[in-house]
Amino acid sequence: MPGRGGRNCRGHRIPGGNLGGVGSAAVILLDTSVLVWLVVEPGHLSRAAASAIRRARRSDGLGIAAISLWELAMLFARGRLRAYGTLDDSVRLVIESAGVSVRAITPEITALAAQFPEDYPRDPADRLIGATARAEGIGLVTHDERIRRSPLVKTIW
């Protein structure tokens, strides 16, 4: 949505992507929890999230931020998800099962994440995921209420 600009903690404007038409977009970004639920427990997804994922899948429009690969590996390494083979194999299996593309972390994305205001979640992974969605002008499927309250990122849940 144009005009959903934001300001960082110093009051500087945070640039954003073109968010027009995100509600019907065929490209969306999944946060790490949604990615896991999609593969392991799809019943945890809201109706709106499941519908957006189905639409995006039809056009190969499902993506994740690169930082989600690390978060996934940590879930396997800490035993929060059951690993199948090596950590590498387990992460690949989730990515392939979900049918997602991995969005690179770019200098623009790191700058956006660093400029998010103090009221945005401080977790670096949350900031990089949100900045990826904002930089690409695509919706973010997330259950995280703090992110959903932010005007910086168009969310779907």
Q: What is the pLDDT of residue 99?
A: 97
Report the chain's mean pLDDT, rounded to a whole number. 89
Model confidence at 139: pLDDT above 50: yes
Helix, coil or strand: residue 136: helix
- The region of weakest confidence among 12-21, 61-70, 102-111 is 12-21
Query: How high is the pLDDT of residue 20?
Result: 37
Rounded CA gap, 65 and 37, in Å? 16
Structure-token pair, residue 29: 């970004």
* Per-residue pLDDT reduced to its tens digit, 74-111: 999 999 999 989 999 999 999 999 999 999 999 999 99
Torsion of CA 107, 108, 109, 115, to 10 degrees: 110
pLDDT of residue 24: 46
Is residue 5 scored above 60 in pLDDT? Answer: no
Neighbours of 7 (CB within 10 A): 13
Is-above-0.75 flag for pTM? yes
Domain ranges of the chain: 23-156
CATH architecture of the domain with residue range 23-156: 3-Layer(aba) Sandwich (3.40)
